Structure 1
Amino acid sequence: MRLGLNLGYLVGSDDPAGQLALTRHAEDLGFDVVWAAEAYGSDSPTVIAWLAGQTSRIDVGSAVMQIPARTPAMTAMTAASLDLLTGGRFRLGLGVSGPQVSEGWHGVRFDKPLGRTREYVDVVRMALARKTVAYEGSHYRLPLPDGPGKPLKLTIAPLRAEIPVYLAAVGPKNLELTGEIADGWLAIFYAPEFAGELLGRIGTGRERAGKTMDGFDVVPTVPVVVGDDPVRCADPIRPYAALYVGGMGSREQNFYHALAVRMGYGEAAAQVQDHFLARRHRDAMAAVPFEFIDSTSLLGPVERIAERLRLLADSGVTTCALAPYGDTVEAKLAALTAVAEAL
């Protein structure tokens, strides 16, 4: 199992120099990859390019580039440019986002996400292979049939013949699609004890495509807090867990809430959601079970973290993407060092 770093996305109070310091430290520690995210603030390609220009060995990846935010051709252009400019260090992570961001921010209907993702990846791969792009799908048609457009071919070549494509997936059908059409899976709230169901879905997709799990990259983002008391270490993660389980989407459509229910936390997830949607955020954070945070994070002293890393590796994780928590950049740097020692 390799280590990675997930920086998340920049928020208003973040100092970008801190993200660069974390990335350089991860590179010095021998981490395999650093991932940058986007929602409706900083975009991942700009952050990735900035980090890649100030590093030399560590891979850089988007976790994710939002499918509703860009045409597949634009994504192929960006991926090819980043792969060329980084010396072949780029990994393309894609995700459909959610209804609130897709429709509220990008103005793109959140309908038939599975079919849209399949066609999107088809077009991206076709363009990156430098084929003349002519595609007739239910969601994407290139060129448009009733205008002056003509089939075109990408004018630059990525450094590698194939740029690895990752999908962020939570639901069962999306997990199967990820196994079928992607090279890796970007996971969230990954618990080794529940991995069998999730990776079983991935495996079903691999079988459908005539492939095995060999070479497929399983990449959960795992929060990290180092300290003597695992219970107290869970507290900084509570706002993140409460936001996703309780408020990332509507009551009727929240993929992370549904995942928590499938993991056996149905009653607690309902309480978290009730509190969060009623804007009782402190109550929502308090309602997140310690067991849920503990099973999906790395908490406590180095020895305990080492035990959890072994469980992650044994469950099928191939790259553990760390999300370090701490009040200062120095604390986060120390957390990365501690996990590298634990590994």
Structure 2
Amino acid sequence: MRLGLNLRYLGNLGAGADPRTSARYVQEAERLDYAVAWTAEAFSSDAVSLLGYLAAQTSRIELGTAAMQIPARSPAMTAMTATTLDILSEGRFRLGLGVSGPQVAEGWHGARFDRPLARTREYVDIVRMALRREDVVYDGTHYRLPLPDGPGKPLRLGTRPRRKDVPVYLAAVGPRNVELAGEIADGWLSVFFQPETVAEHLPLLRAGRARTGRDLTGFDVVSSMPAVVGDDVADCADRVRMYTAHYLGGMGSRKENFYNRLAARMGYADAARCVQELYLKGRPREAAAAIPRQFLERTCLLGPVERIADTLREHAEAGVTTLSAMIFPVDAEDGLRTLRALADALGKAGVG
């Protein structure tokens, strides 16, 4: 199992207060042999611009989007962006994609959120076609290229990516979307992954892979986990409560919150419902306090290095191949210390 660094979007331009701080984190992660650094986006800073900046500040660590929003860009623009980032990073780019949710898709991007799985399948088809530098001709339900009633003609990507095959990842939460990730992607970007639920997730990935005659060999199972290192587990857990409450309570509407549904499937239905009710009533601190500590301990890297090493070992044994840490530093030096402690924990776990 490898370590990754996820520069969570809630921190505005990554986990640092400014892009230079984020660059310091990624440079330190590179020095410590982390495998990859990821950027993300919602409706604040975008995932792409910071990644281009980081490509110029690093030389070995791979760089990925976790994830670029499918409703925000046409498939052709995503292929153009992936090509540019693969060139700028000298072949270190990983293309992570996600459908986002109905509030962002329809409220921010003006894109319908109907049939997200079918849209994702067609979207990835076109992106891969473009990256192969084929003439893009596509007659799908959601995408038709060229448009049949105008002057458009089939076009081919004018620039070659650095690599023949840019890895594609899908951020997926629901069971059908996880299975789709196994079928059409090279990796799965998971959230709130806990080893106890591996019996639910890995069969879905295997079923998706089997549709194309493949198994999980070489497939990257990525678990993104908040990480706080310290002697007091309860204090560490408190540092990630607001972040978790935002997902369970505010990432979506009352009817459409994929993360809340996931927590319910994990056995926390009552708590997830309570957190959402409090959050939507404008009481986020109470919502954060209502999150069971057990949920945080099972979905985050919390506590002393030895305890975190045990958690890393559990995830490796459950089939996780990349553990991407989201740090919650009080300042830049604290963030750097956290990255070093996590690398130490990986060594103690003996799974690197």
The TM-score, its normalising length taken from structure 2, stands at 0.96
Within 5 Å, give how 1:94-133 maps onto structure 2: 94-133=97-136
Q: What is the SS of the residue equivalent to 2:240? A: helix
Match among 152, 156, 160 for residue 157 of structure 1: 160
Aligned: 1:179 with 2:165? no
**What does the per-residue CA deviation read over 1:2-52, in whole Å, with 9 as the maximum and x for residues that have no partner?**
011000125289222111110000000001110000111111111100000
Q: Distance in 1 between matches of 2:163 and 2:39?
A: 21
Determine the structure 2 residue equivalent to 1:309. 312
Q: What is the SS of the residue equivalent to 1:264? A: helix
Percent of paired sites with the same residue: 59
Q: What is the SS of the residue equivalent to 2:123? A: helix
Contact persistence 2:19–2:50 (CA under 8 A): no
**What does the per-residue CA deviation read over 1:131-168, in whole Å, with 9 as the maximum and x for residues that have no partner?**
01100000000000000000010111111110000000
* AA of the residue aligned to 1:201: L
Within 5 Å, give how 1:185-264 maps onto structure 2: 185-264=188-267
Match among 51, 54, 60 for residue 51 of structure 1: 54
Instruction: Flag structure 1 segments of 5+ consecutive residues without an equivalent.
Output: none
Following TM superposition, by how much is the alpha carbon of 1:191 offset from its aligned partner in structure 2, in angstroms? 0.8
Determine the structure 2 residue equivalent to 1:11. 12
Determine the structure 2 residue equivalent to 1:41. 44
Q: Distance in 2 between matches of 1:171 and 1:161?
A: 30
Following TM superposition, by how much is the alpha carbon of 1:64 offset from its aligned partner in structure 2, in angstroms? 0.9
Q: Distance in 1 between matches of 2:84 and 2:128?
A: 14
Q: Distance in 2 between matches of 1:113 and 1:210?
A: 24
Contact persistence 2:227–2:302 (CA under 8 A): yes
Following TM superposition, by how much is the alpha carbon of 1:317 offset from its aligned partner in structure 2, in angstroms? 0.5
Following TM superposition, by how much is the alpha carbon of 1:281 offset from its aligned partner in structure 2, in angstroms? 1.1
Following TM superposition, by how much is the alpha carbon of 1:325 offset from its aligned partner in structure 2, in angstroms? 1.4
Number of residue pairs the alignment of both structures matches:
343
Following TM superposition, by how much is the alpha carbon of 1:199 offset from its aligned partner in structure 2, in angstroms? 1.9
Q: What is the SS of the residue equivalent to 1:17? A: helix
Instruction: Flag structure 2 segments of 5+ consecutive residues without an equivalent.
Output: 347-352
* AA of the residue aligned to 1:8: R
Determine the structure 1 residue equivalent to 2:322. 319
**What does the per-residue CA deviation read over 1:266-315, in whole Å, with 9 as the maximum and x for residues that have no partner?**
11111101111111111100110011111011111011111011001000
Q: Distance in 1 between matches of 2:219 and 2:306?
A: 29
Match among 276, 280, 286 for residue 273 of structure 1: 276
Q: Distance in 2 between matches of 1:223 and 1:8?
A: 9
Q: Distance in 2 between matches of 1:296 and 1:328?
A: 23
Deviating beyond 4 angstroms after TM superposition, the runs of 4 or more aligned structure 1 residues are none
Following TM superposition, by how much is the alpha carbon of 1:60 offset from its aligned partner in structure 2, in angstroms? 0.6
Contact persistence 1:142–1:151 (CA under 8 A): yes
Within 5 Å, give how 1:19-98 maps onto structure 2: 19-98=22-101
Following TM superposition, by how much is the alpha carbon of 1:208 offset from its aligned partner in structure 2, in angstroms? 1.8
Contact persistence 1:218–1:319 (CA under 8 A): yes
Following TM superposition, by how much is the alpha carbon of 1:196 offset from its aligned partner in structure 2, in angstroms? 1.9
**What does the per-residue CA deviation read over 1:156-203, in whole Å, with 9 as the maximum and x for residues that have no partner?**
111111000000000011001000000000111111121221222111
Determine the structure 2 residue equivalent to 1:287. 290
Q: Distance in 2 between matches of 1:98 and 1:276?
A: 18
**What does the per-residue CA deviation read over 1:82-128, in whole Å, with 9 as the maximum and x for residues that have no partner?**
11221100000000101111011100011100000000000000000
Q: Distance in 2 between matches of 1:273 and 1:41?
A: 22
Contact persistence 1:193–1:295 (CA under 8 A): no
